[in-house]
Amino acid sequence: MSQPARLVSAKILEQVLLQRGSLSTQISKHIADVDYDEQGLAKELCFGVCRYYPQLNTIALSLLSKPFEEKDLDLYAALLMGLYQIEHMSTPDHAAVHESVELCRQLDKEWATKLMNAVLRRYQRERDDILENLASQPSMAYNLPKWLVKRFKKWETEFEAIVEATNAHPPMCIRVNESHVSRDTYKELLEEKDTVSRETAFSVSGLYLESALLVSMLPNFDKGDASVQDESAQLAASLLAPNAGERVLDACAAPGGKTGHLLELAPELDLTAVELEPWRLARIESNLERLGVSAELICGDASKPEEWWNKQAFDKILLDAPCSATGVIRRNPDIKINRKPDDISALVDIQASILDATWKTLKQGGYLLYATCSLMPEENEQQMASFLERTQDAQELPLNTLAPTLSVDFGKSVSHGVQIFPTLNGQDGFYYCLLQKQ
């Protein structure tokens, strides 16, 4: 039996606030509980509250005499949803208040109805004064947690553009499978469906869609003619430039976008894809099946190759390392809620262990492309500096060494590698560095 969209949204957001899984994971688990016609509303509420959480949270806390207890975070989610509807949706204010009060009853918390009504009506009355009093707080000025504002400000000249892009809705970017169809032809197929697209500036296979489509509406999607993938991520396979017969490792491979792209560029590749979690490995398998390509899929820990490696050295390695994902917050806005400053040092340690371990599987003369979707120097250029310092047979190369015709003007050259920043209506934040084993 289906449930109201707002009720399911409150339950999803409660789980996110309790740090019991990512927003995308929780939506996947619970969205089927909502009637199909209302699923768009549920997603809008969930993504919207997460996208504007720093501002909404600051407003909400200013309205409450004391924060909600952990057992009532579903009510806090309801309050945030009410504020989001007032601030960012076309819902009439009185309807937003009414729906939020009714949501308390649906959550079996009748006692909270008067509180919800009073808080939201106070915000309606005093909105301008409240916003003026809070305006100087970083969470309000930049709609980001204070610690992220501090970190992003280290990119002095890029700071404002990072904030603007991070808070925007992400553009829909697709990768055309040019082993099936040319980018120009696919662009024409989109036009036949009244969908306008423009070519990506740096990826030779990408198209930005003027308006988002359901993937099922993309021409020949089920036949593998196109995949949804950001332009920055599309650069990985092109930079590694795989050739038929080469033995390649895709470490930390899920969800398989880059795995599939490598095989599109070189179908005769001897490719091994490693992923720690079985359900994520299943996503890779599904993606490859749709593209009509195959690879050796291994459920294993990339930092422990002794458990899965057959001792045959790899010619090339793509290491898209686990990271803070601070370059793709607009696609994963719950990062604004769940990512904490202490996470960075823990991730740096994980990245270093995977780097050291996978390096042992690379043959002499082989190449490793290190990638993250992070904007944190500790995870990127500083990680590379530490690795080069402790690894005598590692040498950094120009990023387009294997793909000399590919422009590398897509980012900012830093002490090691290239840092890509998120851009409005363009690419996500990313980082790349190319190493060779001497």
What are the residue numbers of the active site? 373
Give the Cα-Cα-Cα angle 149, 151, 154 (nearest 5 degrees). 105
Decide: helix, strand or coil at residue 148. helix
Locate 259 and state its tokens.
Answer: 């795995």
Residues in the chain: 438
Task: Show the tokens assigned to 53.
Answer: 């959480």
User: CA 45 to CA 49: how far, in whole Å?
Assistant: 6
The rounded distance, in Å, linking the Cα atoms of 284 and 291 is 11
Looking at residue 232, its amino acid is S
**If DSSP codes are grouped into helix, strand and coil, which group holds residue 89?**
coil
CA dihedral 158, 169, 126, 122 (to 10 degrees): -140
Burial category of 84 from C-beta neighbours within 10 Å (exposed 0-12, middle 13-18, buried 19 and up):
buried
Helices 93-106 & 113-134 angle (0-180, nearest 10): 130
Question: How far apart, in whole angstroms, are the C-alpha atoms of residue 301 and residue 344?
Answer: 20
In contact, 368 and 435? CB cutoff 8 Å: yes
